[in-house]
Amino acid sequence: MGFIINVIKSIFYGIVQGITEWLPISSTGHLILMRAFMPLNVFSSVESNQAFFDMYKVVIQFGSILAVIILFFNRLNPLNMHLNAQKRKSIYRLWLMVIIGCIPAGILGLLFEDLIDSVLSASWVIGITLILYGVLFIWMENRVGEYTIETTDQIKPKDALYVGLFQALALIPGTSRSGSTILGATMVGFNRKTAAEYSFFLAIPVMFGASALKLVKYIIKGAEINFSSFVVLVVGFVVSFFVSLFVIRRLMEYIRNHDFKIFGAYRILLGIAVIIFSIMGVIS
């Protein structure tokens, strides 16, 4: 019975991961709340369950990353034989802009990984960042801005670096990587569609690299694994992948006709909930 319950829980975790990874509402904030009320206890010891959950979060993130790669494969593949020279050059240039945008997060992530995991992952920090960026999203939509970058071909190196600095802020849990990059991009002058697309593209090397690094560390440490925990991992990965496919498509449709205020308001409410539960001792 315990095995079936954990599989069902993993389905819910995969759904939440697939939704919240791409919406600017923080997957971390949601996952810590879920774990407080619906823990994945696949082992008998607290330490083993904690180590497993740390690895589990990384594995289901891979499902989300794979969805982006599948959806935008033709858009990001310069080796497609059907492309002309100009289109191939455009894709190589886009990848250069992605690499530039990933430099700040890559450097700061390597330098401050231990600080982020040990200090900045506290629930009260997550609550505060949820609220702060919620307010910023509402402010962003209320300001009078001019969108001068309407396609990814118009992104310049300085634009990429600027958005990359905002992505680095997302190293603080609760910020939301997609939320921070979309906010930074719109402040530079990206329209919503281009900001969201560029945010998705930035996710591939950043999330893949960070997740792979953490996964290798867990394996080196000898993370405990058995048949039931392996099934729980696979279920979460698969569900996260398919939900991400759905969410990314729908988000791109949504932002053509709507702004991000609703996400800002939701973040504020979620942040308040996280802080309240933290004060009550429900989450740590």
| Amino acid present at 36 | A
- The neighbouring-strand residues paired with 278 are none
Low-confidence ranges of the chain (pLDDT < 70): 1, 144, 222-223, 284
Cα end-to-end distance, the chain, whole Å: 28
pLDDT score of 142? 86
Report the C-alpha gap between 208 and 238 in whole angstroms. Answer: 16
- For residue 144, the model assigns a pLDDT of 64
Other C-beta atoms closer than 10 Å to the C-beta of 223 total 16
pLDDT for position 153: 95
The predicted pLDDT at position 214 comes to 75
Contact assessment for residue 166 and residue 160, using Cβ atoms and an 8 Å cutoff: no
Which amino acid is it at 215? Answer: L
* pLDDT score recorded for residue 173: 84
Phi, psi (5° rounding) for residue 190?
-70, 140
41-80 tens-digit pLDDT: 898 888 888 888 888 988 899 899 999 999 999 999 998 8
Judge contact between 68 and 200, C-beta under 8 A. yes
Distance CA 155, CA 205 (A): 18
Q: What is the pTM of this model?
A: 0.89
How far, in whole angstroms, is CA 96 from its chain's centroid?
21
109's tokens: 């992530």
Integer-rounded Cα Rg, in Å, for the chain is: 19
Per-residue pLDDT tens digits for 6-31: 999 999 999 999 999 999 998 888 88
- Report d(CA 127, CA 57) in Å as an integer: 19
Calpha distance 4→20 (Å, rounded) = 24
Domain ranges of the chain: 2-280
